[in-house]
């Protein structure tokens, strides 16, 4: 009897934890470490480097940091950076904006989610207008 129940119970638990993972918000602290490791070579929060500075990027228009020489591809994107759009960008910048100057891809959905949570934590709340 117990043996007979083990498999369905395990399957149910797996399904529940998979659903919970999908709904879990990103972890900004893990995201900060990932950001420093994966993005820090080209980006920082407050200075333009190889890539543009990132503080406030969520909610901001793509290609809008003053003093940074963006590719025409990123400037042409329009709209604003949302968490969803950032997720697509990090999966493949060349797919979202063909011809962009960024090539790095982040294959782990969890890592993307954590990095986005971190970038959101250093962006002003959505009530403020993007600069």
What is the pattern of x (binds ligand HEC, CB under 6 A) and - over residues 31-60? -------xx-xxx------xxx----x---
CA–CA dist 110, 117 (Å, integer) = 10
Residue 78 CB partners (closer than 8 Å, separation 6+)? 61, 62
Residue 96 is a binding residue for ligand HEC (CB under 6 A): no
Looking at the Cβ atoms of 17 and 121, the one nearer to ligand HEC is 121
Q: Report in angstroms how near the CB of residue 60 gets to ligand HEC at its nearest.
A: 6
Q: Report in angstroms how near the CB of residue 71 gets to ligand HEC at its nearest.
A: 3
What is the pattern of x (binds ligand HEC, CB under 6 A) and - over residues 98-117? --xxx-x-x--------x--
Inter-residue long-range contacts of 14-17, CB under 8 Å, 24+ positions, other chains counted: none
Residue 63 is a binding residue for ligand HEC (CB under 6 A): yes
Q: Report in angstroms how near the CB of residue 127 gets to ligand HEC at its nearest.
A: 21
Residue 27 is a binding residue for ligand HEC (CB under 6 A): no
What's the burial of 113, exposed, middle or buried (CB within 10 Å: 0-12/13-18/19+)? buried
CA–CA dist 120, 41 (Å, integer) = 20
Place of tokens 């994107």: 77
CA–CA dist 73, 93 (Å, integer) = 10
User: Site residues (CB under 6 A) for ligand HEC?
Assistant: 38-39, 41-43, 50-52, 57, 62-63, 65, 70-71, 73-74, 81, 86, 89-90, 100-102, 104, 106, 115
């Amino acid at each position: 009897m117990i043996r007979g129940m083990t498999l369905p119970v395990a399957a149910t638990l797996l399904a529940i934890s998979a659903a919970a993972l999908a709904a879990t918000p990103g972890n900004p602290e893990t995201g900060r470490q990932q950001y420093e490791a994966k993005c820090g070579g080209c980006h920082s929060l407050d200075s333009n480097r190889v890539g543009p500075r990132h503080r406030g990027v969520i909610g901001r228009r793509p290609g809008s940091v003053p003093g940074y020489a963006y590719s025409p591809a990123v400037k042409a994107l329009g709209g604003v950076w949302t968490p969803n759009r950032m997720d697509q960008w990090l999966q493949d910048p060349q797919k979202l904006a063909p011809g962009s100057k960024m090539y790095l891809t982040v294959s782990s959905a969890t890592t993307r989610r954590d990095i986005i949570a971190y970038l959101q934590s250093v962006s002003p709340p959505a009530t403020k207008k993007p600069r």
